[in-house]
Structure 1
Amino acid sequence: MDNQKPLTTSTGAPVGDNQNSMTAGHRGPTLIQDYHLLEKLAHFNRERVPERVVHAKGAGAHGYFEVTKDISQYTKAAFLSEVGKRTPIFIRFSTVAGELGSADTVRDPRGFAVKFYTEEGNYDLVGNNTPVFFIRDAIKFPDFIHTQKRHPQTHLKNPNAVWDFWSLSPESLHQVTILMSDRGIPASLRHMHGFGSHTFKWVNAEGEAVWVKYHFKTEQGVKNMDVAVAARLAGEHPDYHTEDLFTAIDKGDFPAWKLYVQIMPVQDAETYRFDPFDVTKVWSQKDYPLIEVGRMVLDRNPENYFAEVEQVTLSPGNFVPGIEASPDKMLQGRIFAYADAHRYRVGANHNTLPINRPIAEVNNNQRDGAMRADGNGGSSIYYEPNSYGGASESPSHKPAPFAVSGLADSVPYDHNDHYTQAGDLYRLLSEEERLRLVANIVAAMTPVEKDEIKIRQIGHFYKADPEYGTRIAEGLGLPAPQGV
């Protein structure tokens, strides 16, 4: 065959026979000297890295982000510095609870994680398709995720654990309402919004700070999937969303999102009616209107799923000058946890992989480690401070200082109104949407064995809106709360 490339071993030696292993005689045992056979089998045994503990099932694509409005008054981030500026990106969409081979069309939040390859380093905005989350302190995250995973004895999903945890964690009510609504199953990855979810800090060139929240609004319009269709596709076509995204881009139907932000003056955080760093709450857009920033377009599919979608590593701790963390406790925990997961799953040198490698020059003293595939720093200076012209710190890029006060202690958030925003959301829904929401919750809670758990959760729904709680109680055949 013309232009046929020769098959080789991993060290480049040509392979003479890829159909038959080497044996001692026609029917003799296989020889250990058949290096190609041993290499092939040994590599095959190691072709799977550990899947992500959460967000294991995902799809991704390349694209660009273009600034459409001047926001330099709020941030000095170079990739946001001028209208028309384009920055290459990679985005990974995902489900949260399922395993790598799970179905796309399950009721679950969707991960919405964007890597911006900026000239000042990689900036990762690791969010979801919801503006809030189930919990607001990272210390509860392992317990929460355990409830979404499989029972250690039966290896089955466990609704008892799910609703027991939620009923004992009333801060989850807002996100539970979103999850059980029509938005819990998007029609496709292209037809959903994305959110940074957390509050972040922007700092401008003068060192002035503001608090910020990110909103990616889909240009395709929000579309959701009927529960019966979703259930059918989960069996017939479990990779439906993955295929839809790939096919759309492949045929030139490039999905796009407009990025907006909400800006809160730093001093407002002290008096706002909800804690602005509580990721279970939103900021009213009447108080802090959406401000246009730019447009994100996905226009190129991955060439290799494993090398790009599976090995991409995103961390909310990957900031660039002009963008910093807030006191959000959930964000603070994720800054450690995500990067640590990548070091375990992909390796200490995960940022040297092509999909993760920044376009900015990297100068640091991190050396060695498994799978160090670049020059490992060569013969350059490997410590700091130094007297030999090696890499050194840049005081001008220190994060903006912020005041702290009080005692070192394990303390909860000050605000515990978990019902107002969930109730407001319920009342925003049409009657048809409310009926579907209630039906979804009743179906999900029916398998729960203990009425105690059901009654406790119904109480939360009732506090959000009496009609909300009463309808669920009636659907479960339980009494509605009295005098809650």
Structure 2
Amino acid sequence: MSQQPPITTASGIPVADNQNSITAGPRGPVLLQDFHLIEKLQHFNRERIPERVVHAKGSGAYGTFTVTHDITRYTKAKLFSAIGKQTDTFVRFSTVGGEKGSADTERDPRGFAVRFYTEEGNWDLVGNNTPMFFIKDGIKFPDFIHTQKRDPQTNLKSPTMMFDFWSKAPESLHQVTMLFSDRGTPDGYRHMDGFGSHTYSLINEAGERVYVKWHFKTRQGIKNLAAADATRIAGEDPDYAQRDLFGAIAAGNFPQWEVKIQVATDAELAAWGERTGWNPFDLTKVWPHGDFPLQPVGVFELNRNPVNYHAEVEQAALSPSNAVPGMGYSPDKMLQARLFAYHDAQLYRVGTNHQHLPVNAPRCPFHNQQRDGAMAISNGGSAQNYATVDAAGVHGKGMGHGEPELALAGAAARYDGRGHEDDYTQAGNLFRLMPAQERQNLFDNLAGPMSQVSDEIIQRQLGHFDKADPAYGAGVRAALKARGRNVG
């Protein structure tokens, strides 16, 4: 075993004795001048940065993205410039609602956040293992997440809070159906798909915009845990997914996903929306593959484990606002909220200069006028800390990087489409795709927590199931009856 280097303070000053505090005599009180003791205790008290409000429990790994198909007709982003081109990546998988010490196998969506270290800066695709979400407007996100956390009085998880919210928000039904299906408890992180979930955009050299949905299709095959197995593993090995991912990569069994996109122009989305009545930028909806087929882009592989979990996974700070030239956003209300919320959360959780940390730093040169604050590692050196005003003005149209102008329509107001939009058809379509056994699993998984809530909430939620498909409502009623809740 190699000899360890001598202990120093964080400032590099050699420590004479790491075993004994400085005291006034052999049995006297400790002296304030023992800086090593104070620094050691101070750092220990601060070892835990605030955990993420959501996605607190997670696993990470490094890898590569390799282009296999040409999409330069859609985007000028340099990472797609040539077939065979590789880009270094980092991924963080996670559960959503649980705390940092919660079990990996809980029924919950899974975060699927990928960073691409491109030559034009970091591109972060921050999504989930589901192509839809519970709500369509970010103003309801804090309310929704509070229902997934703990009751303010009992400090317990509360099915009443969850189903009270969901039963009053039929827009959630699509994702609730996915959550309580077999896919609500994936077998680790390697055997699940990933999605950008939101609608994003791509911009080509001519300044033309198309809208896209990103898909990561696992090459390991989809595997899910039965509800009983997920519960058992939560007790036997709460770090099951972390162990599986780390062990597979350490053994050279590198997981891979095929990266694909759905593509649509403004005109195509407008025609589709007119025909279906669905808003293509609504996160509670998906784009059916029959209308917008998947197109292959590349292969994503994970092939290197982190060396230090805290430095590389816990401090990883991803945000959908990180989009490189050739990429852009959409009018998706949830995406618009996340563009602000994620970066703001990282400023609070990790610090003002979190982008300076190695896992977050771009692999290309960067320069700005941001200075000072905590963790200002280089702080810009002697470079000028302000930008002068160009008296001639900035020429050219668009929003930067050659992105075309985004046409807006209508007066500014708070628009509520709830009660007027179709929240049931896509949830019913998902239900009808399930084989008989998966439907029964769905009924049983829902009946467990629903059996613990009031009749009023149950009836409200059953009404949504009925509208999605009468067999859906009937199946949950039968499962509730089997648990002693005869709700008619």
Equivalent of 1:332 in 317, 320, 336 = 336
Report what 2:13 is aligned to: 13
Q: Hey, what's the Cα distance between the residues in 2 that align with 1:72 and 1:398?
A: 15
Alpha-carbon distance in structure 2 between the residues aligned to 1:413 and 1:2: 66
Q: Map Cα deviations across residues 49-100 of structure 1 (whole Å, 9 max, x no partner).
A: 1100000000000001000000101111110111001000000000000011
Contact 1:469 1:480 in 2 (8 A): no
User: Post-superposition shift, 1:16?
Assistant: 2.3
Measure the CA separation in 2 of the matches of 1:382 and 1:434: 60
Of stretches 33-42 and 277-286 in structure 1, the one that deviates more from structure 2 is 33-42
In the alignment, is residue 96 of structure 1 matched against residue 99 of structure 2?
no
Q: Deviations over 1:252-279 (max 9, x none)?
A: 0001100000001221222212211001
Aligned to 2:108: 108
Q: Which residue of 1 aligns with 2:159?
A: 159
CA contact (8 A) 2:61 2:306 kept: yes
Give % identity.
58
User: Does 2:363 align with 1:359?
Assistant: yes
Q: Say whether 1:377 aligns with 2:380.
A: yes
Q: Which residue of 2 aligns with 1:177?
A: 177
The 5-angstrom pairing of residues 132-151 of structure 1 reads: 132-151=132-151
The answer (yes or no) to whether the contact 1:474–1:480 under 8 Å persists in 2 is no
8 Å CA contact retained: 2:207, 2:402: no
1:462 equivalent to 2:439? Answer no
Counterpart for residue 261 of structure 1: 261
Counterpart contact for 1:276–1:283, Cα < 8 Å: yes
Aligned amino acid, residue 441 of structure 2: R
Does residue 1:404 correspond to 2:408, yes or no? yes
Count of aligned pairs between the two proteins: 476
Match for residue 456 of structure 2?
452
State the TM-score, normalizing by the size of structure 1.
0.95
Q: CA deviation at 1:229?
A: 1.5
Given residue 19 of structure 2, which amino acid in structure 1 is its aligned partner? Answer: Q
Contact 1:113–1:127 (8 Å) recurs in 2: yes
Matched residue SS, 1:271: helix
Give, as a single letter, the amino acid of the residue that structure 2 aligns with 1:363. Answer: H
Q: Which runs of 5+ in 1 are unaligned?
A: none
* Structure 2: distance between partners of 1:10 and 1:394: 50
- Offset of residue 413 of structure 1: 4.1
1:420 pairs with 2:425: yes
SS at match of 2:473: helix
Structure 2 partner of 1:278: 282
Q: Conserved in 1, the CA contact under 8 Å of 2:455 and 2:487?
A: no
Deviation track 1:151-210 (CA, whole Å, cap 9, x = no partner) reads 111110011110000000000000000000000001110000000000011111111111
**Letter aligned with residue 156 of structure 1:** L
Q: 1:432 aligns to what?
A: 437
Q: Residue type of the partner of 1:384?
A: A
* CA–CA distance in structure 2, aligned partners of residues 197 and 191 of structure 1: 18
Amino acid at match of 2:438: E
What is the alpha-carbon distance in structure 2 between the residues aligned to residue 266 and residue 316 of structure 1?
22
SS of structure 1 residue aligned to 2:410: coil
CA deviation digits over 1:88-127, x for unaligned, max 9? 0000000000011111010000000001010111000000
Q: Distance between the aligned counterparts of 1:380 and 1:13, measured in 2?
A: 30
Q: Do the aligned residues in 2 keep the contact of 1:110 with 1:129 (CA within 8 Å)?
A: yes
Q: Separation in 1 of the partners of 2:417 and 2:114? A: 29
User: Are residues 271 and 480 of structure 1, via their aligned partners in 2, closer, same or farther at CA, if it must alter by over 3 Å?
Assistant: farther
Q: CA–CA distance in 2 between the matches of 1:220 and 1:330?
A: 31
Task: Please provide the CA RMSD for this pair.
Answer: 1.8
Distance in 1 between residues matched to 2:417 and 2:330, nearest whole Å: 14
Cα deviation, 1:357-412, whole Å, max 9, x if unaligned, reads: 001211211111122011x122222222358xxxx999761432121111110003
Say if 2:22 and 2:31, in contact at 8 Å, map to a contact too.
yes
Letter in 2 for 1:130: T
- 1:39 maps to which residue? 39
Aligned position for 2:345:
341
CA distance in 2 between counterparts of 1:408 and 1:309 reads: 40
- Give TM-score, length-normalised by structure 2: 0.95
Q: 1:276 to 1:206 in 2, by over 3 A?
A: same
* Structure 2 unaligned regions, length at least 5: none
Q: Out of 287, 291, 304, which is 1:287 matched to?
A: 291
Cα deviation, 1:328-364, whole Å, max 9, x if unaligned, reads 0000000000000001111111111111000121121
